[in-house]
Amino acid sequence: MTEKPVLQVKNLSVEFHTYAGTIKAIRNVSFELNKGETLAIVGESGSGKSVTTHTLMGLNASNATISAGHIFYKGKDLLKFSEEEFEELRGGEVAMIFQDPMTSLDPTMKIGKQIMEVILLHDEDIEKEQAAAKALELMKQVGIPNAEEHFQDYPHQWSGGMRQRAVIAVALAGNPDILIADEPTTALDVTIQAQILHLMKEIQSEIDSSIIFITHDLGVVAGMADKVAVMYAGQIVEYGTTEEIFYNPQHPYTWGLLNSMPTTDIDTDELSSIPGTPPDLLNLPKGDPFAPRNRYALDIDYEEEPPFFQLSDTHYAATWLLDKRAPKITPPKEILKRWDKWKKFGSKSALPKISKFGVAEKKKTAKETAVPKSGAEVTGKDNI
């Protein structure tokens, strides 16, 4: 893995103009993505996850304004891109996997042909026959059983799980540098999300692309992401390596997300949800927008937004609790257990593998990781 970032997002802010007023959808968002790296963006509904990735792809609604910031993709300033340049970028260098497969597949075109079309679009020199062979290879790579027999199928002939694989094959057909998967607003089974991410990661190691994976659920990315950005009310409130986020979390919102997630690596007495609801982005409260839901809020949280405090080269958290003038507080005991592991193992390489579903622990075959249709296991030809 080289350390030159493929993508740099710096202090990005996006607003939406509506009749009711200006919605500050994302504020001061910064992160970097290196080649071959997997970044997870995690946060509740409305926290700005989709707006962040849509901005990268030039897909924001027409009432959006980028009010501040920069996005550099391989050194090129994306915010200066024309619509034609964005069109070229999408589906080619940066590909998005929407998790409702039917929004990305053409119901009237055979699946093999849909994959071929993307290959032909992105490689002017390739012959049709070669493109067909490559499309077939991609179908096999994403775990379509008996791909030859199913090359001529239409999307409606396949199960939801297999269609999802087809979408991944279409996304990969343009040899993307960055693969973005945005979860749907309707909650998909988190186990299926984890399986999709696992499949993307298996392919990633072959094509060396970078991944941005969006989810509500921190557990989905356990053991699979390299870095995690935790978003709240349009801001990244904590950012770090997966080990830092899971074993040395510093933001009370991250604590809340961790404590609402079933896990095998920490004993939890009971799961707890974060009380309250996110703020109205039309009328953000004074101070830290998380303060009203934060049982560790200090007086200053109601007055002033916390700056980012840096904990390591890779770990940042925006909470006044890290200010040296802040009183010492005792976090929830599950968090103390995590901190204990962090202290005990010190170096991240010695930390136990973070796992929720066990999928990260052993390399499974494509069959075992197949995406089930409506809870049923998809294992063979009959289930296409």
The listed partner (Mg ion, ligand ATP, none) that binds 174, CB under 5 to 8 Å by sort, is none
Residue 281 is a binding residue for ligand ATP (CB under 6 A) = yes
24 binding ligand ATP? (CB under 6 A): no
Restricting to residues 276-305, name those near Mg ion by CB under 5 A: none
> Looking at beta carbons only, is 229 or 360 nearer to Mg ion?
229
What is the closest distance, in whole angstroms, from the C-beta atom of residue 59 to ligand ATP in the complex? 11
Q: Are 180 and 212 in contact (CB under 8 A)?
A: yes
How far apart are CB 291 and ligand ATP at their closest, in Å? 19
State phi, psi for 361 to the nearest 5 degrees: -80, -40
- Inter-CA distances, 137 with 115, 119, 201, 346, Å: 10, 12, 17, 43
Q: Give me the least distance between CB of 10 and ligand ATP, in Å please.
A: 19
Site for Mg ion in 13-52 (CB under 5 A): 50
Are the CB atoms for 228 and 205 separated by under 8 Å?
A: no
How near is the Cβ of 165 to Mg ion at its closest, in Å? 22
Identify which of residues 234 and 252 has a Cβ nearer to Mg ion in the complex: 234
Closer to ligand ATP by CB, 147 or 274: give it.
274
Distance (Å, whole) CA 223 – CA 242: 7
Rounded to whole angstroms, how far apart are CA atoms 27 and 24? 7
Contacts of 49 (CB under 8 A, 6+ apart): 41, 42, 43, 182, 214, 231
Neighbours of 315 (CB within 10 A): 19
Distance between CA atoms of residues 221 and 355, nearest Å: 9
Out of ligand ATP, Mg ion, none, which partner does residue 146 contact, by CB within 5 to 8 A per kind? none
Question: In angstroms, what is the minimal distance from the CB of 215 to ligand ATP?
Answer: 8
Is position 283 an interface residue for ligand ATP (rule: CB under 6 A)? no
The rounded distance, in Å, linking the Cα atoms of 343 and 82 is: 49
Size of the site for Mg ion (CB under 5 A): 1
Question: In this chain, which of 45, 157, 310, 312 binds ligand ATP, going by CB under 6 A?
Answer: 45
Q: Considering CB distances under 5 to 8 angstroms, the limit depending on partner class, which of Mg ion, ligand ATP, none binds residue 25?
A: ligand ATP
**Contact assessment for residue 47 and residue 278, using Cβ atoms and an 8 Å cutoff:** yes
Q: Which residue carries 């609801």 as its tokens?
A: 277
Interface residue list for ligand ATP (CB under 6 A) = 16, 18, 23, 25, 43, 45-51, 61, 63, 185, 216, 281
